[in-house]
Structure 1
């Protein structure tokens, strides 16, 4: 189980379902927070931890699909849908929206726990990716404005001479900046630097008409 330092949110308007799910998850060592409506869940500040959401499809007020749409807009919490009255169109919409699983009541405990394990594993991956991206962005922000201009040119395959012509600087200056960029980005090779630029989705300047 991916339950260490993890949290499962349970949103269901049926108190008995909430209590049963909370008891099952806590018995497996997972922290749980329960909510009786989508509105209550969305209005509650969420902890900055790895988490997933068990979400009832049909509830008074906001539906589970509406909650899923709003959650996707602001976060990447994996969702497991549960419902007492499944229908194909709703299941299709839920899965297209990125749901980890779509389970019908009465719930099979083993199937639910497998879904929770998969959802928390996905949450771990998403969190790690977000942390890596934030760290990479911080390295990029440590570059000077000129270095930030130069990086996408180099990563797109421009030679030092070409990049110098585009930016109106000397080739020697490009070489100096290139060394600084490699050091500040903590790139152990130029191939690594190219991958970093790709992850940052950096694009070369539109001033690409220089012909070496």
Structure 2
């Protein structure tokens, strides 16, 4: 699994050590000495994760975690590193969606495993977000009555009931359904309902 690991730690020696371990495991790395530095360059669109120190000067690792939802382009799963076994910080971090909370010094195998899990999660979430965006774009291309027919199909209404609801013939409803299936690029009812679920999944619009 390849990806870019964003190492955010104010200790130059720690950044260098983490970079060597991750490079040996096949990952690209980018290093930052402060939380704010991570938000300065344009966001990296490739899969990856943040390897984020909790105790940073000024803007802490937890502060950056809180800020990322307001900067969705910069969001990646977070693996926290802490110089102390800070239970309160670890609970706060995990509740806010961190993938892992590790205490320094970190065992190399544990570190690489945590990073691999975070990158895989990022890949999955990006794929789901893409499906969501595609589904929403296709549904947006439907006409007004087709939207109503789609809602009716999703709620389990029969063609006859929809025809009565909308004041049209069953044949018209069947034609609308065929057009909906073509527009959404599906050929079964389960696939149609899956596309609709993807389009409605607001929580997939950000990765955590």
Calculate the TM-score normalised by the size of structure 1: 0.87
* 1:52-97, Cα deviation, whole Å (9 max, x unpaired): 0000001111111111122244434110000102211111011111
Question: Aligned equivalents of 2:99 and 2:154: distance in 1?
Answer: 36
Question: How many aligned positions are there?
Answer: 199
How many angstroms does 1:144 deviate by? 2.0
Question: Aligned equivalents of 1:49 and 1:140: distance in 2?
Answer: 27
Aligned 1:123-138 pairs, distance under 5 A: 123-138=122-137
Gap runs ≥5 in structure 2: 202-208
Q: Match for residue 109 of structure 2? A: 110
Q: Match for residue 183 of structure 1? A: 182
Does 2:61 correspond to 1:64?
Answer: yes
Question: Aligned equivalents of 1:17 and 1:157: distance in 2?
Answer: 58
SS in structure 1 of the partner of residue 200 of structure 2: coil
* 1:100-156, Cα deviation, whole Å (9 max, x unpaired): 111111121111011011111111111111112122222223322321222111111
How many angstroms does 1:180 deviate by? 0.6
SS in structure 2 of the partner of residue 43 of structure 1: coil
Gap runs ≥5 in structure 1: 203-212
Q: Match for residue 150 of structure 2? A: 151
Question: Aligned equivalents of 1:55 and 1:35: distance in 2?
Answer: 10
Normalized per residue, the structure richer in helix is 2
Q: CA RMSD in A?
A: 1.7
The question of whether the paired residues in 1 share the 8 Å contact of 2:131 and 2:198 is answered with: no
The question of whether the paired residues in 2 share the 8 Å contact of 1:152 and 1:197 is answered with: no
In terms of Rg, which structure is larger? Answer: 1
Q: Match for residue 34 of structure 1? A: 31
